[in-house]
């Protein structure tokens, strides 16, 4: 199981979708469960992206290999440094291999 990194421009208004895809190494025979949570770093929930409260339960049913989740980044016209947040995986069921468990979201300031 892996999750990708996302690097995109911030944008100046509205929202930009940062899409994180969790991919299993193979099609599961039994359901695979895990949780994800979105962690602020230099990018702060609320001001830089739409908060994802708590931890989110995810289930891969048999035959499903990939799922995509979106973090919505807020555009602005403020001059600031590039900012980062994390898309973390945790609590993976024992029938799945745990590979790259952290996706980095890098917001490129464009102001």
Q: Cβ 19 to Ca ion, closest distance in Å? A: 19
Residue 110 interacting with Ca ion (CB under 5 A): yes
Task: Give the footprint of Ca ion on residues 8-37 (CB under 5 A).
Answer: 10, 12
Do 1 and 25 contact (CB within 8 A), yes or no? yes
Q: Nearest CA to 4 among 106, 95, 72?
A: 106
Give 12 or 42: the residue with its C-beta nearer to Ca ion: 12
Residue 62 phi, psi dihedral angles, 5° rounding: -50, 135
The encoded tokens of residue 21 equal: 């895809």
Task: Give the footprint of Ca ion on residues 51-80 (CB under 5 A).
Answer: 76, 78, 80
Task: Give the footprint of Ca ion on residues 79-108 (CB under 5 A).
Answer: 80
Distance, in Å, from the CA atom of 86 to the CA atom of 104, rounded to the nearest integer, reads 5
List interacting residues with Ca ion (CB under 5 A).
Answer: 10, 12, 48, 76, 78, 80, 109-111
């Amino acid at each position: 199981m892996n999750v990708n990194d996302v690097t995109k421009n911030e944008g100046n208004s509205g929202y930009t979708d940062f899409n994180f895809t969790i991919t299993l190494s193979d099609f599961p025979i039994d359901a695979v469960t895990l949780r994800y949570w979105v962690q602020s770093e230099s990018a702060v929930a609320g001001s830089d992206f739409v908060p994802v409260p708590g931890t989110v339960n995810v289930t891969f049913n048999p035959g499903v290999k990939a799922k995509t989740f979106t973090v919505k980044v807020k555009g602005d016209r403020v001059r600031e440094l590039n900012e980062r947040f994390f898309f973390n995986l945790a609590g993976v069921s024992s029938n799945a291999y745990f590979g790259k468990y952290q996706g980095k979201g890098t917001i490129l300031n464009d102001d």
